[in-house]
Amino acid sequence: MSNQAIRTITVPSQQLPVRHTPGVVVVGGGASGVAAAIAAARNGAETLLIEQRGYLGGMGTAALVPAFCPYTDGEKPVIRGIGLELLEKMKLAAGDRFLNRYKDRLDWVPIDVETLKRVYDEAVLDSGAKLLFHTVADQVLLDGDRIDGLVISNKSGRSVVQAKLYIDATGDADLAALAGVPFQLGGEQGELQPGTMCFVVTGADKDRFDRFIRETGQHPQLEELVTAAQRDGELPEGRKRISGIAWITDSVAGFNFGHIFDIDGTKAEDLTRAAVEGRRLIDTQIRFLRRRVPGFENIHLVHSGDQIGIRETRRIQGDYTLVVEDFLSMRTFEDDIARNSYFIDIHLANAGSTMTIKHLPKGQSHGVPYRCMLPKGKSNLIVAGRSVSSDRPVQGSLRVMPNCFAMGQAAGVAASMAGAAGVGFREVPVRELQRKLIEQGAWLGERPGQAGIVRPVAAGAVAYEEEA
């Protein structure tokens, strides 16, 4: 949009029906929202999950992110509880061949999109939570430091949802922003990580591809071929490798390949441009794969993302801001509600810049404090997912789906406790919250009473590699 003054119009006031009065409302059905709704409902809260699309999963289904990022620190799972449960349910539901290939894998497990949609539906409904699809919350009604209701829009018209507690799981902190919570957007110069239009192909030949990698010594991310194609003008400048190929079957593969720059995921105009440019880029990438990569000569595009994959938008100002020093020192907090071991992964802001990647030592992780989910100035709102209060480097680590599951579970349990006690999120006793999370499978580090998982982490064959 230009900086010119925008003409305004006064919309007549309306009397809207209050159609839903749950104890807890979760807005956003991605990983954090799914886990939040399940956790809140399992712990006794009457829960409604609102999602703008006709299915759950967020970036994992709408944007076709091809694989789950690591659940482990290289030695043991650090993301457990509801997130690990849902991963295992997808493996079981995807069929014997998929299960046999990935049953011992917890890192970079490919996403079977249609199976995952069904698994999420069933898990949320089995928990006792209710779903409302094809619905957008476009206005927040405030009463001092409390949210008093949400105005929602869908095919049934406009109406109001009034709850006691609100969970913002939109990924973009949409509710928090509408409620006036302060936030940062991207870097100091407004730069944002690029988006990626992911896609799925059929007609591939995994055996032929694997043989080509073995015989030529090519990296599975095809750095040499991508660089050569960029030099010859077949691919645009930018990422010098395919982030990863996730093999769903021996002939069906998902791709996270290439970047679309200068996309602000909070702007419809940018998302529109990204959709058009992304589909155009996929066509270029398919031609490259057919021409240069053995095993992909006969591929056919069967699905591109419903929207471009977004890595970064808003970060709220919370009661605590998790910073890079906390990550590097592997800090533990008294109010930890999760642990994170995923590396800092900030993608290049433009075709000429470089990526920032920083790993923790194998077997190590840092704490994620409850306070970073509590937005400034709001008592009955909690934020879960990539938009929690952190600096930009840490957001590049926290943003992935396994971490979102863990934060979502914590938000849902906290909401159930706050609702039962008739208090806001800041009055939730953190020790009791931690105890409940541990009892319900979460891992908060080596603490008294922490349930252990002795299952070994599968080594070897990596289907997807790094750089999500």
Q: What is the DSSP string of 343-361?
A: PEEE--SSTTS--EEEPPP
pLDDT at 244 (0 to 100):
86
pLDDT at 448 (0 to 100):
45
pLDDT at 352 (0 to 100):
57
Query: Where are the alpha helices (H) located in 371-450, listed in sequence order?
Result: 392-398, 401-421, 430-439
Count of Cβ atoms closer than 10 Å to residue 187 Cβ: 13
C-alpha pair distances (Å), 125 with each of 48, 69, 121, 365 = 10, 25, 6, 33
pLDDT at 438 (0 to 100):
98
For 196, the enclosing helix (H) or strand (E) is: none
- CA-nearest of 67, 77, 140 to 309 is 67
3-state secondary structure of 404: helix
Contact 465, 343 (CB under 8 A): no
Rounded to whole angstroms, how far apart are CA atoms 401 and 67?
A: 10
- CA-nearest of 123, 133, 94 to 111 is 94
pLDDT in tens, the chain (468 residues): 456 788 999 999 999 999 999 999 999 999 999 999 999 999 999 999 999 999 999 999 999 999 999 999 999 999 999 999 999 999 999 999 999 999 999 999 999 999 999 999 999 999 999 999 999 999 999 999 999 999 999 999 999 999 999 999 999 999 999 999 999 999 888 899 999 999 999 999 999 999 999 999 999 999 999 999 999 999 998 888 898 899 999 999 999 999 999 999 999 999 999 999 999 999 999 999 999 999 999 999 999 999 999 999 999 999 999 999 999 999 999 999 999 999 997 776 665 555 577 899 999 999 999 999 999 999 999 999 999 999 999 999 999 999 999 999 999 999 999 999 999 999 999 999 999 999 999 999 986 444 444 444 443 334 444 456
Contact 78, 106 (CB under 8 A): no
Rounded to whole angstroms, how far apart are CA atoms 434 and 438?
A: 6
Rounded to whole angstroms, how far apart are CA atoms 241 and 226?
A: 6
Summarize pLDDT for 41-66 with one digit per residue, the tens: 999 999 999 999 999 999 999 999 99
pLDDT at 349 (0 to 100):
60
The token pair that represents 341 in the structure block: 């071991």
3-state secondary structure of 139: strand
Percent of the chain whose pLDDT exceeds 90 = 88
pLDDT at 451 (0 to 100):
46
**Strand duo 199-202 + 253-256: pairing:** antiparallel
pTM (predicted TM-score): 0.94
Q: Which one-letter DSSP state was computed for residue 425?
A: G
For 141, the enclosing helix (H) or strand (E) is: strand 136-143
Taken in order 127, 128, 132, 138, the sign of the CA dihedral is negative
pLDDT at 355 (0 to 100):
57
Summarize pLDDT for 361-407 with one digit per residue, the tens: 999 999 999 999 999 999 999 999 999 999 999 999 999 999 999 99
φ, ψ of residue 67 in degrees (nearest 5):
-150, 155
pLDDT at 363 (0 to 100):
96
- CA-nearest of 263, 274, 271, 258 to 226 is 258
Count of Cβ atoms closer than 10 Å to residue 358 Cβ: 14
The 3-class SS string of 262-329 reads CCCCCCHHHHHHHHHHHHHHHHHHHHHHHHHCCCCCCCEEEEECCCCECCCCEEECECCCECHHHHHC
Q: Which one-letter DSSP state was computed for residue 194?
A: P
Contact 334, 320 (CB under 8 A): no
Q: Which one-letter DSSP state was computed for residue 426?
A: G
